[in-house]
Amino acid sequence: MSEYWFDQMIFIPGVAKSGTTTLFEMLSRHPQISPSRVKEPLFFNQHSKVILKNEHWYASLFPKKAVLPMEASSLYAFSESAFIQILTHVKRPKFIILVRDPAMRAFSAYQHMANRVPVRDKRRFCELVDSFPDDNFDMDVEKTNCERAAHAGHIDAGYFGPDYHARTFRAPFKSCFMDPLAWFSYFTFSSYRLWLLPLLKKLQVNYKIVFLEHLISTPRAIMDNVLEFLELEKCDKVYIPCRKNSATLPKSGIMTAWRKTFPAHRLLGRPLAEIFDDNGMRYFSDWTKSLFFKPAPPIDPDLYHRTKALLQHEYDFWFREKPELEYLWSRK
Q: Is the peptide bond before 13 cis (omega within 30 degrees of 0)?
A: no
Q: Nearest-CA neighbor of 160 among 147, 171, 142, 176?
A: 176
What pLDDT does residue 290 have?
A: 57
Domains of the chain: 6-247+296-328 (3.40.50.300)
Collapsed DSSP state (helix, strand, coil) of residue 239: coil
What pLDDT does residue 241 have?
A: 67
Among the ranges given (87-101, 116-130, 233-247), the one the predictor scored with the smallest mean pLDDT: 233-247
What pLDDT does residue 14 have?
A: 86
**Residue 267 pLDDT > 90:** no
**Residue 143 pLDDT > 60:** yes
Is the Cα dihedral 297, 302, 304, 306 positive or negative? negative
**Residue 297 pLDDT > 90:** no
Q: Which residues of 287-315 are buried (b: 16+ CB within 10 A; e: fewer)?
A: eebeebbeebeebeeeebebbbebbeebb
pTM of the model: 0.86
What pLDDT does residue 65 have?
A: 79
**Residue 283 pLDDT > 60:** no
The DSSP bridge partners found for residue 145 are none
Of the two residues 270 and 55, the one the predictor is more confident about is 55
- C-alpha–C-alpha distance, residues 91 and 87, integer Å: 7
What pLDDT does residue 250 have?
A: 45
What pLDDT does residue 298 have?
A: 83
**Residue 307 pLDDT > 90:** yes
- C-alpha–C-alpha distance, residues 208 and 286, integer Å: 29
Among the ranges given (25-39, 258-272, 288-302, 304-318), the one the predictor scored with the smallest mean pLDDT: 258-272
Instruction: Give the mean model confidence (pLDDT) for residues 302-319.
Output: 95
What pLDDT does residue 275 have?
A: 53
- C-alpha–C-alpha distance, residues 203 and 199, integer Å: 6
Please give the mean pLDDT across all residues of the chain.
86
